[in-house]
Structure 1
Amino acid sequence: MDGRPVLVSTEHEDATADLVIAELNRRRVPVVRLDPGRDFPDSAVLAGRLGPDGWGGTLTVGERSAPLDAVRALYHRRPNTYSPDDGSQEAGYTARENRRGLGGVLGALPDCVYLSHPQVIARAEYKPAQLAVAQRIGFVLPVTLITNDPTEAKDFAAQQPTLYKPLHAAAYDVDGESAGIWAAPVEPGELDGTVSRCAHLFQAVVPKTCDVRAVAVGDRVFCARIAAPPGVVDWRAEYRNLRYEAVECPDEIRSGLLAFLAGFGLRFGAFDFAVTADGIWWFLECNPNGQWAWLEAAVGLPITTAIADLLQNGESSRD
């Protein structure tokens, strides 16, 4: 084995993380996998000790153990949250202590490469912050309104073709079935008093000819053109009817993506762009923990290799 272990923090069933773990196993890099919100404290044991050089001690998950001061990298994918088993005060207290105890230690490991740091990911998930950073970098953005005022929303939608987008892509059930809330066009007449119940994000429609997902890993960028059937606004609603093509990333876009990562302290980002007929890439959003495995399979982008390189070596190889 190649010495220092990599911690992989994700849910138990994560096919994307499985690809990276398999590659690390092939390279004989030791891996300890855990789902903090589910494994701790039942099947994971923390014994963290603060010494002169930072946090030491051990984290044991099942039969595998990692010395905390020797962890080379933490791959923070999609773990379950630290949540109470029931609504009791005791369970809520326990969940908060677990998050600040285990989560706090995992976020303060010495000489550890984070892909990416959990607290950085949490901050970068806020779309208003994303749009502000993207604007400062120089990306082209659609006109945007965030409001809970129905009058403001109506006025905005009356000025240009408008989309509604959720501010956070969380799970949503409809009649007991898992569903997604996708970006969708809205007309002024559809916007009524219900707008006042929460914050809403509205954007001007971009007259796109295709979409591009750009996946940045360290200093490497991989791009795929996504073509959806005519009339489809949000390609995520039509996964079975999409066509993909690997494309080169323009130099100015690549520079902007790396500046965006640096602005937040991220080492990974899955970026979505709308591309218009004149070749302009319009920034839509960044998912700091977005999916990429299906694109690797569709067009052969070596994203698994880039992530394994970064976790193993602290950087992405450009060979």
Structure 2
Amino acid sequence: MRPPTWTACPRTTRTRARADMTPDRHRAAVLVLTNTYDVTADVVLRILSDRRVPVVRVDLGVDLLEGASLTAYYRTGEQRGALRTSSRELDLTRVRSVWVRRPSAYEAPPGLNEHTAKFASAQAFWGSGGVIASLPRAHYVNHPWHIRNAEYKPAQLTVASRTGFLVPNTVITTDPGEARRFCTDQPGRAVYKPLWDSRYRTEDGAAQTVWVREVDPAEIIDAVSVCPHMFQAKVGKAFDVRVTAVGDRLFGVRIDSPDLDWRHRQDLMTCAPIEVPDSVARAITAYLAELRLTFGAFDFAVTASGDWYFLECNPKGQWAWQPAETTAAIAHAIADQLERGPDS
């Protein structure tokens, strides 16, 4: 059993750190939902530890299978509950903030048959997930329901168009003919992007990442009809930009990479801070407000003429890979959000 910690300490291995300080039970805690190996979370938790803010870090998809328990009571005018482990107890009415980072999926305990396991994992998702998403007076970064809504690519494109971003011509289709026609009509050619970051498994079971890549219309076969595919006009970019938004604070980084998809070979890219134009900043603020997000990692393709084209916004995006000063600034901004709680 790995009990959740009240604060975080620096890690040198992939084991959960333990804090030495005694939790301040007179102050509401920050609840951090993430997996054991999330070193990005450690950057923020070290700051909260220095500020002596009580923190509970837990991975419910794993910890609830290893002895932890979650209980919630509801009655007219009252809601209460507790998260208990072998060594900790968190009063769910005294959670100031919830940081939904990278928690494991809810799974069933080992040893169950297939049908019982599916039932148990579904009950865990809707039960435990619903309890954590409904804590009274807690501030969420981001709320899990808002994360889910904001992860749909069609929703991102719809909101981006409505809030003032430049959006590349895009089609999402199950019609091979429509896909071919769209790609043929794009003067600067077209690219394919997966609608979700799913790992594609080959016949031998190996998982492969599907990167953004240029598409020749002649490559598009009738198998497009198996599921929706997204094709997008290729932006003639001079460079990429990642803007990490935390509340009303924006942190822009220019990315120069030899690849169409800079994530493919990150060892070849270079990054440097960049100012975010006012028009883009206003669109980001409007986008976050419409999707009810506190945090968002925005990706843009910037042309030689200075046009910023919206590509996507990840409501749980990684950010600790950026230049040290940018990473530190983002970490402090997130810590500020979590420490202030629901009045932020």
Tell me if both proteins adopt one fold, taking TM over 0.5 as the criterion.
Answer: yes
Q: Deviation per CA, 1:101-131, whole angstroms, max 9, x where unpaired?
A: 2111111111100001111101110000110
When normalised by structure 2's length, the TM-score is 0.87
Report the equivalent of 1:274: 301
State yes or no: 1:80 paired with 2:110: no
Label 1:58 to 1:228 Cα distance change in 2 as closer, same or farther (>3 A).
Answer: same
State yes or no: 1:293 paired with 2:317: no
- Mapped to 1, the partners of 2:301 and 2:275 lie a distance apart of 15
Label 1:315 to 1:274 Cα distance change in 2 as closer, same or farther (>3 A).
Answer: farther
Which amino acid is 1:225 matched to? R
Label 1:23 to 1:43 Cα distance change in 2 as closer, same or farther (>3 A).
Answer: farther
The Cα of 1:91 is off from its aligned counterpart by: 1.5
- Mapped to 2, the partners of 1:120 and 1:53 lie a distance apart of 26
State yes or no: 1:219 paired with 2:248: yes
State yes or no: 1:28 paired with 2:56: no
- Mapped to 2, the partners of 1:310 and 1:212 lie a distance apart of 24
Native 8 Å contact 1:244 1:299 kept in 2:
no
Any gaps of 5 or more consecutive residues in structure 1? none
Which amino acid is 1:283 matched to? F
Report the equivalent of 1:182: 211
Report the equivalent of 1:18: 42
The Cα of 1:179 is off from its aligned counterpart by: 3.0
Map 1:19-98 onto structure 2 (within 5 A).
Answer: 19-51=43-75, 53-84=77-108, 85=110, 88-98=114-124
Any gaps of 5 or more consecutive residues in structure 2? 1-23
Label 1:54 to 1:276 Cα distance change in 2 as closer, same or farther (>3 A).
Answer: farther
SS of residue matched to 1:293: coil
Native 8 Å contact 1:73 1:115 kept in 2:
yes
Count residues with an aligned counterpart.
Answer: 315
- Mapped to 2, the partners of 1:170 and 1:297 lie a distance apart of 30
Native 8 Å contact 1:244 1:298 kept in 2:
no
Native 8 Å contact 1:206 1:274 kept in 2:
yes
The Cα of 1:64 is off from its aligned counterpart by: 2.2
SS of residue matched to 1:235: coil
Select 2:288's aligned residue among 229, 254, 261.
Answer: 261
SS of residue matched to 1:6: strand
The Cα of 1:180 is off from its aligned counterpart by: 1.6
Map 1:102-141 onto structure 2 (within 5 A).
Answer: 102-141=128-167
Native 8 Å contact 2:201 2:208 kept in 1:
yes
CA RMSD of aligned residues (A): 1.9
- Mapped to 1, the partners of 2:27 and 2:322 lie a distance apart of 32
- Mapped to 2, the partners of 1:250 and 1:292 lie a distance apart of 20
State yes or no: 1:250 paired with 2:274: no
Which amino acid is 2:27 matched to? G
Q: Which moved more, 1:293-302 or 1:159-168?
A: 293-302
